[in-house]
Structures are given as C-alpha cells and as structure tokens.
Amino acid sequence: MSKAMVVDDSKAIRMFLSKTLAEVGYEVCEAANGREALRVFEREKAAISLVLVDWNMPEMNGLEFVREFRSDPGRASVALMMVTTETEVEQMVKALEAGANEYVMKPFTKEIIADKLRLMGVLQ
C-alpha cells in the first residue's frame, strides 16, 4: 500500500483529506505544519510517495515546506500537491515553480482531489 502525508494546520481538513486518500487506497500520516512534516517525512520517507500540503500554516508555511522539501534531490520522485485557499494565479505559479506537481484551491470535493491525483499519475 502506498503512503501519503497530509500537511495542514486545520484538523478538519486533515481528517477530510486523510479519509479521501484512504478511500482510494493510501495509508495516511499527518502533520500540522511544514516543520513537523519534514520530521514525519524523515521518519517515514521510505514509504511516503505523495504529500498534500496547505499554504497557510504556522511555523513553516506550505511554500517554505515545498522549497525545503524539493531542495533534496532524493525527494524528486515524491508527488506533491498544494491544497490551499490561495487563489491568486501568481501564488499558483510560485508553488509550481517551487516544486509542487499540482495545485488545488479550497473549497474542493473528493472528486476534485481524485481528478488531480489522476492527473499526477498517482491514481488509476
């Protein structure tokens, strides 16, 4: 079973995304901010193949996380999707340039998440 990590400071969003990912076959771990996510990834890195990350979080925001995460070439194969309330095109461009593979704006549905995962090639 593939493993995914959901990074969001909102417990409700983490629960929704975790449930959605579990329904499509992922084992899921969670983190409440980018700094915690880096620690979780180091512990679980052999198993994690997908990360969904929010932009606006305390301690280390999603963009900072994406930049730090992608600074290690060993993480290049991990699919990374930004899931955020940031709706400006320039924010989307920043996230994609930093290394996000996809970008989803809140609010979203399970279907939108599944469609993006298919586009990323991580879901049949």
pLDDT band per the 50, 70, 90 thresholds, residue 4: very high
Residue 102: count other Cβ atoms within 10 Å of its Cβ. 20
List the domain range (segments joined by +) for residue 7: 3-120
- Tell me the C-alpha distance between 57 and 15, whole Å: 16
Q: How many domains does the chain have?
A: 1
- Tell me the C-alpha distance between 109 and 39, whole Å: 29
pLDDT band per the 50, 70, 90 thresholds, residue 112: very high
Residue-wise pLDDT tens digits, 9-35: 999 999 999 999 999 999 999 999 999
CATH code of 112's domain: 3.40.50.2300
Q: Does position 1 have pLDDT exceeding 80, yes or no? A: no
Closest CA to 71 of 116, 34, 29, 44: 34
**Is residue 43 helix, strand or coil?**
helix
